[in-house]
Amino acid sequence: MANKLLRARSKFLMMTIAVGLIAFGVVEGLFWWRHVTTTNAWVEADFTVMGSSINGRIHSIEANKGDPVRAGQLLAKMDTELVELNIASLLADLEQAKSQKKLIASELKAFQKDILDKVETQKTLITGQRRELETLQRRLDIAQSTMNRNEPLVKRKVVSEQASEKIKDRVLEITSKIDEVETKISEKNRKIAELEGMKVQEDVFYSRIQVIEGSIEKLKVRIEQAKRELSKMHIYAPFDAVINEVYVDAGNYVEDGDRVFLLHNPKNLWIEALVDDSEIRLLSAGQAVDIDIEAQPDFDFSGRVETVGRTTLGSMNGNHDNSRGAPKVPIQISLNSSKHLLWPGVRATAHIRVR
């Protein structure tokens, strides 16, 4: 009885194992029927070379190989002493030019004030002399009127010849003073005209100011260029990245274009895979892909086929020797976002869903 029970249990166990193996085989068979799988795959990234934009000496390296960096973060400082000295010299020249402009402007203002004061002085004198002239003219009118009245009285002996001559002398005296005052007024008007004519000298001042303003603008441009050069001397991260390589050390002299850093964007990774040419007919852009990453075996990754190559890897290299295996066609697979860390170059296995 015990033997029968043992045989029944053994038979049941064997049947269970057989069913399990069959089920496993069916599942695996369906998986391989539904997928094209390649182990010839790896993680890829866009690598960016950061180089010096000028000739100069590296003052310090601010990031090390393997460091994550943020966009705009300082990666390397250049020796800026010569450029800073040049900027300081240009700024000193600019201040000197501004002082010269200010001095000439003050001289122009003093010149204009001097001319204006002299003109106003002459005009004030002319005003006083015109009043004097008006007074003399009134006195002349009175004297001439007296002389005209005395003429018939002299003939009738009412007024003496001596009194009449005295009046005539008075008329001549006043007339002479009038002529003298008018001459002075004319001289002062001529002086005013000369002073007004001196205003053309203002153009000399304006010309000097214009030349200095031109120099100031040129200095400003040179200062701006020097500051722009100074800003370009330091090297900053262009985006969030990981430093893959540092090619120089502090104290090294580099020239414009020399490489300093190699970095990549860890958020812009994809899978590059090679598929046998016998299976390439099954692939097309947009197909879902399950991805196993050897460096992260405990996590699942996924993506989609982005591009399918139009030629085999051998033909791209000019080599059509297929003796080493089936020709491979490269495909590119995008990676869906994941919180798990990946590294460019690590191996992967891609399961492309084709059915």
Q: SS3 string of 293-323?
A: ECCCCCCCEEEEEEEECCCCHHHHCCCCCCC
Are residues 214 and 88 both part of a single domain?
A: yes
Sign of the four-CA dihedral 81, 87, 92, 95:
negative
Instruction: Give the pLDDT score at 83.
Output: 84
Check if the beta carbon of residue 265 is closer than 8 Å to that of residue 70: no
Are residues 273 and 197 both part of a single domain?
A: no
Q: Final residue of a domain: which of 196, 228, 260?
A: 228
In a domain, residue 141? The reply is yes
Are residues 123 and 184 both part of a single domain?
A: yes
Residue bearing the bigger pLDDT, 10 or 138: 138
Identify the domain containing residue 302 by its residue range: 36-79+240-353
Question: Encoding tokens for residue 154?
Answer: 């002299």
Give the whole-angstrom CA distance, residue 308 versus residue 276.
12
CATH code of the domain covering residue 348: 2.40.30.170
Are residues 93 and 211 both part of a single domain?
A: yes
Enumerate helices (H) and strands (E) in the chain, giving the number of each. 5, 12
pLDDT digit string, tens, across residues 170-212? 888 888 999 998 999 999 999 989 988 888 888 999 999 999 9
235, pLDDT greater than 50: yes
Does an H or E element contain 39, and which?
strand 35-51
Q: What are the DSSP calls for 238-290, one per residue?
A: SSSEEEEEE---TT-EE-TT-EEEEEEEEEEEEEEEEEETTTGGG--TT-EEE
Are residues 135 and 113 both part of a single domain?
A: yes
323, pLDDT greater than 60: no
Mean pLDDT across the stretch 54-72? 91
Distances (CA, A) of 75 to 40, 48, 68, 255: 36, 14, 11, 17
In a domain, residue 91? The reply is yes
In a domain, residue 184? The reply is yes
Are residues 94 and 224 both part of a single domain?
A: yes
In a domain, residue 92? The reply is yes
In a domain, residue 7? The reply is no
In a domain, residue 9? The reply is no
In a domain, residue 6? The reply is no
Check if the beta carbon of residue 133 is closer than 8 Å to that of residue 188: no
Instruction: Give the pLDDT score at 4.
Output: 64
Give the whole-angstrom CA distance, residue 340 versus residue 345.
16
99, pLDDT greater than 70: yes
pLDDT digit string, tens, across residues 119-152? 999 999 999 999 988 998 998 888 888 888 777 7
Of the ranges 16-20, 49-53, 260-264, which is most confident? 260-264
Q: How confident is the model at residue 234 (pLDDT cuts 50, 70, 90)?
A: confident
Q: Final residue of a domain: which of 180, 204, 228?
A: 228
Q: How confident is the model at residue 54 (pLDDT cuts 50, 70, 90)?
A: confident
Are residues 65 and 149 both part of a single domain?
A: no
Check if the beta carbon of residue 304 is closer than 8 Å to that of residue 286: yes
Does an H or E element contain 33, and which?
helix 2-34
Q: How confident is the model at residue 31 (pLDDT cuts 50, 70, 90)?
A: low
Are residues 298 and 272 both part of a single domain?
A: yes
pLDDT digit string, tens, across residues 144-170? 888 887 777 766 766 677 777 787 888
Are residues 68 and 97 both part of a single domain?
A: no
pTM of the predicted structure, to 2 decimals: 0.54
Domain count, the chain: 2
Are residues 267 and 321 both part of a single domain?
A: yes
Are residues 220 and 132 both part of a single domain?
A: yes
CATH code of the domain covering residue 120: 1.10.287.1490
**Residue found under tokens 């089936």:** 326
Are residues 58 and 152 both part of a single domain?
A: no
Question: Encoding tokens for residue 63?
Answer: 């990031």
**What is the Cα 17 distance to its own chain's centre?**
74
Q: Lowest-pLDDT range, 25-29, 171-175, 230-234, 345-349? A: 25-29
Q: Final residue of a domain: which of 195, 228, 261?
A: 228
Instruction: Give the pLDDT score at 27.
Output: 46
Distances (CA, A) of 20 to 8, 30, 34, 334: 18, 15, 21, 36
Instruction: Give the pLDDT score at 159.
Output: 65
